Amino acid sequence: MKDSKETNSKKNTLNLPGLTMLGLGGAIGSGIFVASGIAINQAGPSIILSFVIGGIISTLIMFMLAEMSVVEPTTGSFSVYAGEYLGPAMGFISGWMYWVAGILTLATEMVAAALIVRFWLPSWSIWMISLIIAVLIICISLLDVRSLARVEEILSLIKVGILVVVIIMGVVLFIGLWPGLKSPGISNYFNHEGFFPHGLSGFFSSLLLVVYTYAGEQVIGPAAGETQDPVKTVPEAVKIINVALIVLYLGSITTLVGILPWNRVPLNGSGFVPLFGQLGLISISSIMNAVILSAILSAMNSNMYGVPRMLKSLAERHDAPAFLNKEDKRGVPVSAVMLSSAFLLCVVGISYLLPQQILVYIASSAGVALITNWLIIAATHYRFRRRMNGKTIIAAVLLLVVLSTSAMNGNQLVGLMVGIIILMLLACLYFLSARQQHFALRKK
């Protein structure tokens, strides 16, 4: 395998805290703070079960990825492994699907951040704010990995801290110690049309967006190639990240729908802002919005680290144009960053055309692309182990269930169709171009 197994100590600069914060930073963003409002309105209080299922799926997939990363740490990660164990076509599709999902995820974060900024600038258009945010993130992504990791550590600590605060406030209120307020008990979980207000169809419809909230932790795959002692660091980081995400997500969502009736959670905005209002903390709405904005920017920062590096890895394996393999003396893949940025800016135009539907359309499309990639990781892990195991079966079945349920919701159906079209286009692209390139290289 000739994908870059970086041995240059200058590149291997991510330690355990840096890798952990990068993974948490990639996951905790618009999915939990903004897009979760859409899922809550679909599932009601049963959103808690959706987050349990999402946590199980992400944990299984990330442990599979960690197991393979220990054997061969590389910035190509799951794309390299898919190429080795499933064939070059799957390696090509996996890498490009991750890149597409990453761009869509970045676009979702960008639009979500724009919606938050409109709290202060209501007269500004979404596309204009999105453009400013995109330029800011592009500038940060041109930093070297050590500087980028430092920025991410600070931003990640802020958003982890706010979710911890939400959970603590929930505990204080539920045990009846919040000044001036009576504990709601379990009433909000059952009083507003029940635990499943929209039936099982509403619950299943929420799964795609919930799984999407866990998506960004996949960045630890491409980051493995720039990590100190990856054999030890990657598995440890995966354990910490998954435990932290499950505790933070379940704790904060259980608190949110337990204190704030699910039908009062906004569709376009963060449910955590009215939650603070419910607790009598209306005066800190601006502070809360600022914290949520920093959380979303942190997720964009993490994803903008992983997406160009996957593109560079594809170029190294002749699955992308050769110029994308170039990097500067600091190890930053500048060409890959700029091309990824160009496609991100294209979404600014889409947000101009579809300002209202843009968030759910892009988030569901990213979710479908993500699940497709996770299915490839599960299949790769099966070939890697060369025997079927319960971990692979459970993950694959749950992912297929989530993927099929996206057809139950009109907006998510758009995302499903987009994902299928992207998959077909990538398959055609491989057989029309990259396949010939691989054959030519073999003859040499």
Exposure pattern of 377-410 as b/e (b: 16+ CB <10 Å)? bbbbbbbbeeeeeebbeebbebbeebbebbebbe
Q: Which residue, among 58, 20, 50, 24, has the nearest Cα to 378 in the 3D structure?
A: 58
pLDDT of residue 9: 43
pLDDT at 130: 82
Distance CA 6, CA 224 (A): 10
Structure tokens at 259: 């204190």
Segment-wise mean pLDDT, segments of 10 residues, the chain, 444 residues: 42 76 82 84 94 93 88 81 90 90 82 82 83 84 74 80 88 86 87 90 89 83 79 89 92 91 82 81 77 83 83 87 84 86 77 62 82 91 78 88 80 81 88 64 51
CA distance 256 to 216: 22
Q: Which residue has the tokens 């960008």?
A: 110
Q: How far is CA 401 from the centre of its chain?
A: 19
The answer to whether the beta carbons of residues 158 and 298 sit under 8 Å apart is yes
Asked whether the CA dihedral 283, 172, 45, 185 is positive or negative, the reply is: negative
Q: Which amino acid is at 401?
A: V
* Per-residue pLDDT at 7: 39
Q: Under CATH, domain 16-435 is a member of which superfamily?
A: Amino acid/polyamine transporter I (1.20.1740.10)
Cα distance between residue 165 and residue 163, in whole Å: 5
Distance, in Å, from the CA atom of 294 to the CA atom of 37, rounded to the nearest integer, reads 18
Strand ranges (E), 238-315: none
Task: Work out whether the CA dihedral 172, 177, 180, 182 comes out positive or negative.
Answer: positive
DSSP class of 325:
G
